[in-house]
C-alpha cells in the first residue's frame, strides 16, 4: 500500500508538465473552434494519439499508479485545457475501464485495442448505460439482453441515451437487463463489435456545454452478438445471478452493493475534471483582476474582488484534496465508509460551477462574451453536477452511507 502523499514524485511531475504542455499548446487553442462546431475534434484526438496521450498504455499507467494520483493529475491537466475536447480524448478510457474491470483477459486483449484504433486511424468507444426512463434510477433500465442458446448469441433490444461517443464509436459497451426480477443485480455488460447490424445512432444532442464531445442516443434493434461478447463470460454471470437469486429468496440484503463501490472509485476522476475546469477559470480571473484597471487601480485592489479570488482558490484546493484522498483510497482498496468518492465528486463539481460563475463576474462584460474563455468554462462546468450521478444522488449516497442504510 502506498502512503498517502500530497506531493507528486519526479516521474509524476514530468508527466504532469508534459500533459500541461499538450493542454496549453494543442487543446486550449482549439477549444473555442470545436465548441462552436459542436463536433468531435478528430484532429486533436489524432494529435493526442501521436504523442501517446490517447492510448490504453497511457491510461492504464495512470490508472494503476499506486499513489492514486496518476488519474486525477492527468484529468486535471487535460480538462484545464478544455472540457469538451478533453472528454473526447478520455471518453474512450471510461468505456475501456468497464472492460478492464469486468472483462476476461481475452476480451481485454481483443476489444480495447479496437476502442482506440491507432494514431493513423483513431477510433473512439462508448459506454451506454443511461436510458430515457433510467437516469439516476439505474434499476429501472429496460434494454433487454436475451440468450439464444442454440446459436450461442445474445439478442439486445432497447434505447440508450446520453451516450458519450454513442453511434460514432467503433466499440460500444452496453449495459442490459438479463434478469428483470433482480433489479440492478440482474444487469450485465456487453461488447457490441464494430459494424454490428441493428445498432444505430438516434438523436445527437445539442448541448449547453462540453459541445466538442459527441452525446447521442443509441438504438438497439435485434442486435445479435456472439456469446463471447458478454463481459466476464456466461459462467461468471450464471454464478452471480444464482447468488443474487438466493439472497433475494432470503428476503433482501443489507450488504454493500458492488456497483456502488465501483462508482466510489470512478467518481474522483470526474471530480478531478471539475478541478481542472475550475482552476482554468480561476487563473483567467486572477490574471484579469491584476491587469484590468478601474478607478485608477487594478480591480484586485478592491477587497470585493480579492476575497472572491481567495474563496475560489481555497475551494479549488479543498476539492483537489478530497479528490486525491478518494483516489488514493480507491487504488489502495480502502473501504469508502463515508462515501468519500461521492464526496469528492460532489464538492469538486459544485466548486467548478460556482468558481466559473465567479470568474465571469470578475471579468465583467468581457466575461459574458465568447472573446474570453470563462463563458465557455461556465457552460462546461454544469455537466459535472449531472453526469456520473447528479449532486443530489451524491448527497443521497453519502447520507445513506453515513446512516448505514442500503443505497437503494
Ligand X SMILES: Cc1cc2nc3c(=O)[nH]c(=O)nc-3n(C[C@H](O)[C@H](O)[C@H](O)COP(=O)(O)OP(=O)(O)OC[C@H]3O[C@@H](n4cnc5c(N)ncnc54)[C@H](O)[C@@H]3O)c2cc1C
Q: Which residue lies nearer to ligand X by CB, 34 or 127?
A: 127
The catalytic residue positions are 388
Q: Which residue lies nearer to ligand X by CB, 135 or 202?
A: 135
Beta bridge partners of 164: 215
* Residue 132, helix vs strand vs coil: coil
C-beta atoms surrounding 218 within 10 Å: 26
Alpha-carbon span 250 to 74, nearest angstrom: 45
Contacts of 35 (CB under 8 A, 6+ apart): 82, 84, 211, 212, 376
Beta carbon of residue 169, minimum distance to ligand X (angstroms, whole number): 10
**Contacting residues toward ligand X, per CB under 6 A:** 127-130, 135-136, 162-164, 207, 210, 215, 383, 386-390, 392-393, 396
Phi, psi (deg, nearest 5) at residue 84: -65, -45
Beta carbon of residue 380, minimum distance to ligand X (angstroms, whole number): 10
Phi, psi (deg, nearest 5) at residue 118: -140, 175
Beta carbon of residue 385, minimum distance to ligand X (angstroms, whole number): 8
| Residue with cell string 485592489 | 301
Beta carbon of residue 104, minimum distance to ligand X (angstroms, whole number): 23
3-state helix, strand, coil in the chain (%, to 5): 60, 15, 25
Cell numbers found for residue 339: 462515501
Contacts of 24 (CB under 8 A, 6+ apart): 81
Q: Which residue lies nearer to ligand X by CB, 215 or 327?
A: 215
Beta carbon of residue 408, minimum distance to ligand X (angstroms, whole number): 10
What Rg value do the Cα atoms of the chain yield, rounded? 22
Q: Which residue lies nearer to ligand X by CB, 320 or 345?
A: 345
Q: Which residue lies nearer to ligand X by CB, 34 or 162?
A: 162
Amino acid at each position: 500500500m502506498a502512503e498517502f502523499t500530497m506531493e507528486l514524485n519526479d516521474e509524476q511531475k514530468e508527466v504532469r508538465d508534459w500533459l500541461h504542455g499538450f493542454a496549453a499548446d494543442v487543446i486550449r487553442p482549439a477549444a473555442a473552434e470545436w465548441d462552436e462546431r459542436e463536433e468531435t475534434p478528430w484532429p486533436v484526438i489524432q494529435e493526442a494519439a501521436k504523442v501517446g496521450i490517447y492510448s490504453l498504455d497511457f491510461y492504464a499507467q495512470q490508472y494503476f499508479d499506486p499513489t492514486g494520483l496518476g488519474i486525477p493529475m492527468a484529468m486535471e491537466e487535460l480538462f484545464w485545457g478544455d472540457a469538451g475536447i478533453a472528454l473526447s480524448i478520455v471518453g474512450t478510457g471510461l468505456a475501456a475501464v468497464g472492460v478492464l474491470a469486468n472483462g476476461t483477459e481475452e476480451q481485454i486483449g481483443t476489444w480495447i485495442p479496437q476502442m482506440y484504433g491507432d494514431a493513423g486511424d483513431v477510433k473512439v468507444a462508448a459506454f451506454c448505460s443511461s436510458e430515457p426512463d433510467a437516469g439516476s434510477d439505474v434499476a429501472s433500465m429496460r434494454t433487454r439482453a436475451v440468450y439464444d442458446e442454440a446459436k450461442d448469441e445474445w439478442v439486445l433490444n432497447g434505447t440508450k441515451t446520453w451516450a458519450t461517443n454513442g453511434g460514432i464509436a467503433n466499440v460500444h459497451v452496453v449495459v442490459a437487463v438479463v434478469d428483470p426480477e433482480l433489479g440492478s443485480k440482474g444487469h450485465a455488460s456487453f461488447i457490441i463489435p464494430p459494424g454490428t447490424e441493428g445498432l444505430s445512432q438516434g438523436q445527437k444532442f445539442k448541448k449547453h456545454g462540453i459541445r466538442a464531445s459527441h452525446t447521442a442516443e443509441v438504438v438497439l434493434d435485434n442486435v445479435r452478438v456472439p456469446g463471447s461478447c458478454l463481459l466476464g463470460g456466461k459462467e461468471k454471470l450464471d454464478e452471480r445471478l444464482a447468488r443474487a437469486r438466493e439472497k433475494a429468496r432470503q428476503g433482501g440484503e443489507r450488504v454493500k452493493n458492488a456497483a456502488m463501490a465501483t462508482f466510489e472509485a470512478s467518481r474522483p476522476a470526474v471530480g478531478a475534471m471539475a478541478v481542472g475546469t475550475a482552476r482554468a477559470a480561476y487563473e483567467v480571473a486572477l490574471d484579469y483582476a491584476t491587469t484590468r484597471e478601474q478607478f485608477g487601480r487594478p480591480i484586485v485592489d478592491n477587497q470585493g474582488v480579492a476575497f472572491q479570488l481567495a474563496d475560489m482558490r481555497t475551494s479549488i484546493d479543498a476539492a483537489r484534496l478530497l479528490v486525491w484522498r478518494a483516489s488514493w483510497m480507491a487504488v489502495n482498496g480502502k473501504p469508502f465508509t463515508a462515501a468519500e468518492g461521492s464526496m469528492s465528486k460532489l464538492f469538486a463539481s459544485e466548486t467548478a460551477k460556482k468558481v466559473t460563475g465567479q470568474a465571469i463576474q470578475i471579468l465583467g462584460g468581457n466575461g459574458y462574451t465568447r472573446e474570453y474563455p470563462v463563458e465557455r468554462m461556465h457552460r462546461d462546468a454544469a455537466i459535472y453536477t449531472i453526469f456520473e450521478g447528479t449532486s443530489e444522488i451524491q448527497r443521497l449516497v453519502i447520507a445513506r452511507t453515513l446512516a448505514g442504510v442500503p443505497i437503494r
